[in-house]
Copies of this chain bind each other. A is one copy, B any other.
């Protein structure tokens, strides 16, 4: 296999950052038996169909459905509007930023539609989009993504857009402009979609939103915007081969998780991911959800109250050197760093050969790629001088194939980390209260009692307002 992404971990070890802040190799290797056990457990779960996200890259039929639909729709639309939030949006955004032009929506040379992923209900932002799309609805395709259809944000967006398309184009054309990605069998959106005779795609059963990017959820917008989803899935499959190895030091997902776990136990509760690439920046937001929602848990699998979970943080290189690195070097020893590095950028921009100012002649004949990679090395060097442990994930290049590897690597690392923390990686019980409290505050008839409680408990007190 060529074009493999790699993990370099020596700069997290005690040899480099000292015994106080670094990880001794025997501390790391002490986790090898646990990793072996977890690997065997996951194999078993997978064989029983209990870990369906691990098998998504092998679902040829799923990919074929996306290809067929994208081929049918190609050329018919100037705008693709995705309505979704959380796991129904972050993957779509990440793929687009990683694999299409940074100014994709603005460029006049696109051969595929503009992409708008509307993952919030801010009225100013939403109205701005409606304003932009005015008069363009006949050239706009909408993909609404929600497993249940009851997510308040997505449901609201959908109701507004459905009304608008009906008004603008007539009810008989709804089915040509709306595609619903939802549960294959049941739920609110499934029923609405069937009633309206919409084309539907599937949120795969048993796969949580944050693990769903390699399904219809993430693949359709990517394919329609010209991204090679076959290579994405090939990258994920090839990574899967590497992750079958039960040996801690030979399995990058296991190793990444073990290192993160060991540092978390050593009171480094912040995990910073720092990509030195514009293209990789939104993959960090995707990872941020994956890591936080999977690992932030109150109780462990034995029922103990643990209030556990590292906090994932995104920082963009080189930009955030001028914002966060002062804190990262001199602040508390509460962080571990994961750099994302690109060996070969898709394009480069040369610096001029002739530079007048003597203070700047050192830049002559270099290039932005060389500068950006030098900044990464320099920042890592500076962090190591301050005994801050660093990991590096290297991309030979940013391509569908390497991005597919990265996604699968981090999904699987999350499973390992959850198992090491002895928590349920796949639920999100704490999100529920906020959801029903929103229902209550929107006067949902089923939640009047909660509304009363909220109003009681959150009585504003002017003595504490200035």
A-side residues, CB < 8 A to B, are 6-11, 13, 85-87, 89-90, 101-103, 105-107, 119-132, 149-153, 155-156, 159-160, 163, 188, 191-192, 195, 209, 249-252, 255, 269-270, 276-279, 285, 288-289, 292-293, 295-298, 307-309, 311, 313, 316, 318-319, 321-335, 345-352, 355-357, 359-360, 362-363, 366-372, 374-375, 377-382, 384-386, 398, 428-431, 433-435, 437-445, 454, 457-458, 460-461, 463-466
Contacts and interface: CB of A to CB of B under 8 A. Distances in A.
Nearest to A104: B128
Contacts of A332: 269, 307-309
A83 to B, nearest CB: 13
A311 B288 contact: no
Given A325-B434, A442-B366, A9 B464 contact: yes
A300 to B, nearest CB: 11
B368 A250 contact: no
B120 A466 contact: no
A458 B331 contact: no
A3 B160 CA distance: 31
Given A366-B442, A430-B325, A103 B128 contact: yes
A319 B106 contact: no
B368 A323 contact: no
A388 B121 CA distance: 25
A309 B331 contact: yes
B322 A380 contact: no
Given A124-B346, A155-B363, A326 B296 contact: yes
A445 B347 CA distance: 28
Tell me if A's interface is mostly helix, strand, loop or mixed.
helix
A293 B323 contact: yes
B105 A278 contact: no
A362 B150 CA distance: 11
A134 to B, nearest CB: 11
B374 A442 contact: yes
A11 to B, nearest CB: 8
Contact of A360 (B155, B321, B331): B155
B330 A309 contact: yes
A150 to B, nearest CB: 6
Contacts of A463: 10
B124 A326 contact: no
A322 B377 contact: no
Given A106-B105, A332-B307, A384-B457, A323 B90 contact: yes
Contacts of A126: 349, 368
